[in-house]
Structure 1
């Protein structure tokens, strides 16, 4: 088999090779001869089936196998000889594929974009700043007060008081489509917190101002995407009776509150809250540090990028942002979304940094362990309560999903490796300064 290079421009590569008819025929014959002793066909004893019959029955399938094996071997030889690593799966085409006939030569073309040579860099030359925030007394107090609000109870308002947003109203209700009640639209002595948005949009608003003992008629329209198809988009009337109007009362910040959240006493709860807050600050500060590192690398590294990778990334960015701007459109039956120059610039940055991090991980032999992967799958499975086993099986059989889970873990490990060798200066700042730094990330 002779391989000829047909294209070598920038990162674009092209090759051509031919599998001769004689070569293909010889390999098919060899496979038939190898299988003949084990073949048994009606009318012939095992191992005695004539070669012409074997060829007629199995020849086409074996020829397909031989072609695939020949192409695979040729591509491996091309990549081994050139030392190239394709940016995407090589494109392989058979010349005159439809007109080709068994017995004749089969010529193939191979084209791909090679990954560029990634320049190395010294981690020790990178200067980074890490923000450090301590959980002060005010932050801990605020967190404890929020816990107290979440553990709030409700007390009856003075007789004749009107319900306010945030109050709890205890109601009986029954829903009607026209004059007919519908299934699942009835409840008794239901405690509904106004403003919680736990009922259909518009329902709770119409109970603001209601008093205990009153009957209130609530008119709403079910959302078009409502789960029950027979109610979706329908106008309905709910006849409600208000049993009680109750005002929220926050729990006291004391030992009893601590016990509600599984702590021995208030001091232990304060320690847990402090630890949680500082863990949150560390996570937020890491995001700022990571952006600083990526900015430094983006300004430091410059090399040719595979156009196909940049184009694919730009299209993905444009598509994702379009759906964020059109949240009600969940399908993909929209028109073509053309990437803007801003999308292309962001794609260029992402591809460049992705290649730099991937190369660093490859050179330093950084890998995602089985234990880390299992933990990632378990974390993702929590989003599907009751279906965890099915999710595990889905991930096990889906290489693309495995890569989606593995990629961020790999990236974080490479980032940590780079940071561990960089010159990092800690800077103590306030919670507000950290918040501003985080908000600035979204503006870039």
Structure 2
């Protein structure tokens, strides 16, 4: 077997691989000899079929396997000796297409090698960690928001008209063609106007009613309504308004705290404070991560495989095009050309991606099964009632697993570098942190 270099330009590599006819024949004989003890053929006992007959009967079939194994073996040996790591799957093709049995096999192999990545002195990386404390005002604001979600209703003044967002307490009887239908009646029913909990158009007709008023509401059931006998039918609801109530926020006290699972108001404030500071810490980490990536990008420079940059630029252009054209859900659209800006962003992403991968490999960073399971379960919650199907889908889809593993791996590598970098804490306001986060989105 012979491997001859035909191109070595930057990261581009090409080789001519020759597998001699003698090597191929030996490989075929080896494979037939391995199979011989299990072969049964009429006129011969099991395992006693002559090699010449085996070769005549099965030689052509085994030849393809032998050829592939020989080429794969030559490629593996080459990468082991050279230390090259291909950026993408090498392009391999047979060059003597008129090959016939007894000829040498000639193959060309081309690829782009991953570059040598320089060592980095992490201690030279200087980062700023923004720290925000949960101030009383922020805790009070969060408490007020909780109180709104736990809102109650109190009666409006006598004769007041119902507004959108008010609660109307009423009796009603629904009729189709003058006849009451099952499930269309209720007493003392509390309906919040604007909640869209009734048939479309129903609640809007109650805006402006007063306590003690009788109101006939006419609506048409949707064509996709669950009750077959009501689909598309016009119905009239005779409503007797008993009370009109306006929304009021719940009182911020120990009783409110208990509604949210806290022992008392002070305990609830403590929980809110912890949650807010956890949110601030998450946002601050994102800001510091961007600072780290900027620092790394400025510290290293190395050749990049053109194919990786081109593929990433196309992906960026495609993604941004869909963001600008949200109505186009599929990929049936004209080819999208990458611009210089896309290529510039792709260059940074590929450089940092290769760098982080190298750091992670040297630091032996791994994504554990437990971390993957946790990530899958977190994403599965976005599909209520279909969690099991989503979990099974991911387990059977290697590409999906890789998409979920990549950000976990990246974050672990980033944490590894954080541990060795020089980090200085800086206490800032919530507003300053928000400005820093907004700046990330603008870049």
Does TM, scored on the shorter chain, surpass 0.5? yes
- The answer as to whether partners of 2:174 and 2:238 remain within 8 angstroms in 1 is no
For 2:233 and 2:336, locate their aligned partners in 1 and report how far apart those are by CA, in whole Å: 39
Indicate the larger mover: 49-58 or 28-37: 49-58
For 1:241 and 1:199, locate their aligned partners in 2 and report how far apart those are by CA, in whole Å: 14
For 1:320 and 1:173, locate their aligned partners in 2 and report how far apart those are by CA, in whole Å: 52
- The answer as to whether partners of 1:211 and 1:242 remain within 8 angstroms in 2 is no
* CA deviation after TM superposition for structure 1 residue 175, in Å: 12
Does 1:211 find its partner at 2:212? no
Indicate the larger mover: 379-388 or 109-118: 379-388
**TM-score computed with the length of structure 1 as normaliser:** 0.85
* CA deviation after TM superposition for structure 1 residue 102, in Å: 3.6
Give the superposed CA RMSD: 3.3
* CA deviation after TM superposition for structure 1 residue 297, in Å: 1.5
* CA deviation after TM superposition for structure 1 residue 419, in Å: 1.4
Counterparts of 1:54-73 in structure 2 under 5 Å? 54-73=54-73
Does 1:276 find its partner at 2:289? no
For 2:295 and 2:25, locate their aligned partners in 1 and report how far apart those are by CA, in whole Å: 58
Aligned residues: 429
For 1:199 and 1:96, locate their aligned partners in 2 and report how far apart those are by CA, in whole Å: 74
Task: Show the counterpart of 1:253.
Answer: 252
Secondary structure of residue in 2 paired with 1:110: strand
* CA deviation after TM superposition for structure 1 residue 235, in Å: 9.8
Please give the per-residue CA displacement for 1:55-93, whole angstroms capped at 9, x wherever unaligned.
355333322221221121111122122211111111111
Please give the per-residue CA displacement for 1:392-430, whole angstroms capped at 9, x wherever unaligned.
333333222221121111111111111121221111111
Please give the per-residue CA displacement for 1:269-326, whole angstroms capped at 9, x wherever unaligned.
1111110010000001101111111111122222211111111111111111222222
Structure 1's unaligned 5+ residue stretches are 180-184
Assess, with a 3 A threshold, how the Cα gap between structure 1 residues 31 and 339 changes in structure 2: closer, same or farther.
Answer: same
Indicate the larger mover: 238-247 or 295-304: 238-247
Task: Show the counterpart of 2:180.
Answer: none
* CA deviation after TM superposition for structure 1 residue 5, in Å: 0.8
- The answer as to whether partners of 1:165 and 1:194 remain within 8 angstroms in 2 is yes
Secondary structure of residue in 2 paired with 1:259: helix
For 2:348 and 2:99, locate their aligned partners in 1 and report how far apart those are by CA, in whole Å: 44
Please give the per-residue CA displacement for 1:197-228, whole angstroms capped at 9, x wherever unaligned.
7789x858945735264334568999xxx999
For 1:243 and 1:354, locate their aligned partners in 2 and report how far apart those are by CA, in whole Å: 67
- The answer as to whether partners of 2:96 and 2:107 remain within 8 angstroms in 1 is no
Secondary structure of residue in 1 paired with 2:250: coil
- The answer as to whether partners of 1:163 and 1:207 remain within 8 angstroms in 2 is no
Task: Show the counterpart of 2:123.
Answer: 124
* CA deviation after TM superposition for structure 1 residue 257, in Å: 1.0
Please give the per-residue CA displacement for 1:142-174, whole angstroms capped at 9, x wherever unaligned.
111111111113345456544434334579798
* CA deviation after TM superposition for structure 1 residue 328, in Å: 2.5
- The answer as to whether partners of 1:170 and 1:242 remain within 8 angstroms in 2 is no
For 1:175 and 1:360, locate their aligned partners in 2 and report how far apart those are by CA, in whole Å: 72
Task: Show the counterpart of 2:416.
Answer: 417
For 2:60 and 2:239, locate their aligned partners in 1 and report how far apart those are by CA, in whole Å: 79
- The answer as to whether partners of 1:175 and 1:236 remain within 8 angstroms in 2 is no
Assess, with a 3 A threshold, how the Cα gap between structure 1 residues 15 and 141 changes in structure 2: closer, same or farther.
Answer: same
* CA deviation after TM superposition for structure 1 residue 186, in Å: 7.9
Task: Show the counterpart of 1:152.
Answer: 151
For 1:227 and 1:109, locate their aligned partners in 2 and report how far apart those are by CA, in whole Å: 64
For 2:406 and 2:173, locate their aligned partners in 1 and report how far apart those are by CA, in whole Å: 50
Structure 2's unaligned 5+ residue stretches are 178-182
Indicate the larger mover: 310-319 or 280-289: 310-319
Assess, with a 3 A threshold, how the Cα gap between structure 1 residues 238 and 342 changes in structure 2: closer, same or farther.
Answer: farther
Task: Show the counterpart of 2:14.
Answer: 14
Task: Show the counterpart of 1:435.
Answer: 434
Does 1:39 find its partner at 2:39? yes
Secondary structure of residue in 2 paired with 1:330: coil
* CA deviation after TM superposition for structure 1 residue 264, in Å: 1.0
Indicate the larger mover: 403-412 or 266-275: 403-412
Secondary structure of residue in 2 paired with 1:214: strand
* CA deviation after TM superposition for structure 1 residue 96, in Å: 4.3
Task: Show the counterpart of 1:364.
Answer: 363
Assess, with a 3 A threshold, how the Cα gap between structure 1 residues 45 and 348 changes in structure 2: closer, same or farther.
Answer: same
For 2:333 and 2:122, locate their aligned partners in 1 and report how far apart those are by CA, in whole Å: 45
For 2:106 and 2:232, locate their aligned partners in 1 and report how far apart those are by CA, in whole Å: 67
